[in-house]
Amino acid sequence: MLNYLILARLNQWHKNFIVLIPLFFSGQIQFQNIFNSLIGFFIFCFLSSIIYIINDLIDKESDKKHIKKKSRPIAAGLISIKKILTTLIFLFILLLGCVFYLDNSYHSKLFLILYFCINIFYSIGIKNIPILEMFLVTSGFVIRLIYGGLLIDVTLSNWIMVSVGLLSLLLIIGKRKADLSISINTKPLYTINFLNLLSSTIGSVVITFYLLFCLSDYAINQFGSYTIISSIFVIYSVLYYLRLIMLNLSTDNPSELFLKDPNIYLSVLLWFLFFTILIYVL
C-alpha cells in the first residue's frame, strides 16, 4: 500500500489546496461553495497523481540513474506494469466521477484538459527547454487557482493571479537549484550563478508587486487600509527563502518548507490569520 501511495505522490497533494484560495478570499463561506471547492481539490489530487504516474513511466530509465528517483516504485520495479495501468484506470474513473458529479460549466473542464495537456507536453520533452519549463510548471499553480474560482463562480483579480504565479516561480527556481546538487549523468539546464541571479530578481519582483497590491485601491476597498501590515509576513518569508537558496539550504521539494520550516509556516499561518480577521471579523 505504501508503494501505491508513493506512486500517486500523496505527499504532493497539499499543493492542490490552492484550489481553495478563491473560496477563502471571496468570503462566500456557504455549504455549496465549500462542497464544490473540496470536490475540486480532490479532482486535482486525482489528476495530478495520474500525471505523476505517466511521467514516471516516461522517465523510468532515467530515474534509475538518479540518486533519489531510483527508489520510486516504477524505477525500482516495485509495482508491475499491469498494476500500474490498473491504478491509472482507477484514478481516472475517480476523476471523471468527481468532474461530472459537480456538473459545472464547460470552462472549468477546459482548464482541467489544459492542465493535463501542459503536463503531458512537459513530460515528453518541454522539461528540457530552459526557462520555458519553469513557466509551464508555474502555469499549473495558476490554473488551479482559476479552477477554484470557476467552481464557486468568483471572478479572480489580476492581483491574486500574478501573485500566485510569481511566488510559484520563485519556489520553482529554488527547486532547480536544489536539483543541481543531486544531478548526475545529465547536462544541467542552468548554472548556480544564473539561478541565484534569477531568484534575487524574482524575489524582488514578488516583494515589490505585493507592496503595490497592498497600496492599491482594490486592496483598500476589498480588505481595508490595514492590508499593508500583511506585507511584513510576505517580505520576511521571501527574504528567508532567498537565504535558504543562496546558502544551498533549500530542499528539492520547496513546498515541504511550508510544512517543516517554522520560520516559513508560521509566517504563512500569521498571514492567513491576518486576512481571516480582515475578511471575516472587521
pLDDT digits (tens, 9 = 90+) for 147-198: 999 999 888 889 999 999 999 999 999 888 888 876 655 678 888 899 999 9
Nearest Cα neighbor of 3 from 94, 95, 85, 74 is: 74
CA 38 to chain centre: 16
Q: What is the pTM of this model?
A: 0.90
Which pLDDT does position 252 carry in this prediction?
Answer: 64
What Rg do the C-alpha atoms of the chain give, in angstroms?
20
CA angle 87, 52, 113 (to 5 degrees): 90
Side chain identity, residue 128: N
CB 74 within 8 Å of CB 84: yes
CB 44 within 8 Å of CB 9: no
Record the cell numbers describing residue 259, joined without a space: 510544512
- In angstroms, the CA 19 to CA 106 distance is 17
CA angle 264, 193, 175 (to 5 degrees): 40
Which pLDDT does position 184 carry in this prediction?
Answer: 55
Which pLDDT does position 27 carry in this prediction?
Answer: 84
Record the cell numbers describing residue 219, joined without a space: 486592496
Which parts of the chain have pLDDT scores under 50? none
Nearest Cα neighbor of 138 from 99, 164, 177 is: 164
CB 90 within 8 Å of CB 131: no
Give the Å distances, CA to CA, from 49 to 14, 35, 147, 203, 260: 12, 21, 17, 30, 23
CB 236 within 8 Å of CB 156: no
Coil vs helix vs strand at 190: coil
CA angle 82, 88, 93 (to 5 degrees): 130
